[in-house]
Structure 1
Amino acid sequence: MTDAKDLTPREQAIGGGAPAPAPAPAATPSPATGSPASGSEPGPVLLRQDERDKLGLRLQQALSTFVESPRQAVEEADGLFDDAVRHLTETLTQRRHTLRASWQGHDTEAHTEELRLALRQYREATERLLRI
């Protein structure tokens, strides 16, 4: 028999045990900049910590109800996925507007340094998306 400590949080939840807490992120965002404090991931976070916590809790709840109500658990997971995608889409749309505003000026022409910074930010954001 497998010891409960050897199970993943998902396996524990599906098995009918109490849901495990959502894992903590590796780096927490700095309140002033929205970038991780450890410097391991550049740029603003894709989801605020409170949003990640809420979505993680909902996922654990859906997983823990699977044994008693499989369809309800899957429906909750489906709605949760939609909410996560919506949050990410809103965040990415705002990020795109911010990046464009940094180099697309109507009255002034962007300087080479501004363009270099914008290109670096586009690269960092795109690399983060590709790691998802």
Structure 2
Amino acid sequence: MPTGSARPPADPSAPTSRMSPLLSGEETGKLELRMQQAVSSFVDGPRAAIEEADHVLEEIAARFTEAVTQRRRTLRRSWESTDEATTATSDTEQLRLALRDYRELAERLLRH
């Protein structure tokens, strides 16, 4: 394989963690806007601002949990279809790519 070219993910229909964000830009933007609005409203209603910030953080955590769960399902499907007894090069390569995707996702989550 030529230097600098990217290998496809283990499941071609599923982008690797480095190719796509866990949350869409639209989702991220909406959540950021809600948090900014909570911060901006603090002077006029401190308790309501804190409650809204709490709700936004709860929603962010839930969305990330859902996204990671879905990513795990996709990764699991990519390697569960291989036969453990088979030693074919393509199966080994598929497993290697799946492991790489798991590692990338774990590293990404640990950086944040």
Which structure 2 residue ranges, 5 or more long, are not aligned?
1-12, 85-90
- Considering Cα pairs closer than 8 Å and 6+ residues apart, tell me whether 1 or 2 has the greater RCO: 2
Select which of 106, 109, 122 maps to 2:83.
109
Secondary structure class of the residue paired with 1:53:
helix
Matched, 1:125 2:105: yes
Secondary structure class of the residue paired with 1:109:
coil
Matched, 1:90 2:45: no
1:83/1:112 Cα in 2 relative to 1: closer, same or farther (>3 Å)? same
Identity of aligned residues (%): 51
Higher helix share: 2
Which one-letter code corresponds to 2:44 in the other structure? Answer: E
Superposition RMSD in Å: 2.0
Q: Deviations over 1:40-91 (max 9, x none)?
A: x714211100000100110110000111111000000000011101111111
Question: TM-score normalised to the size of structure 1?
Answer: 0.66
Q: Distance in 1 between matches of 2:101 and 2:26?
A: 25
Matching of residues 37-116 of structure 1 within 5 Å: 42-105=18-81, 108-109=82-83, 111-116=91-96
Secondary structure class of the residue paired with 2:52:
helix
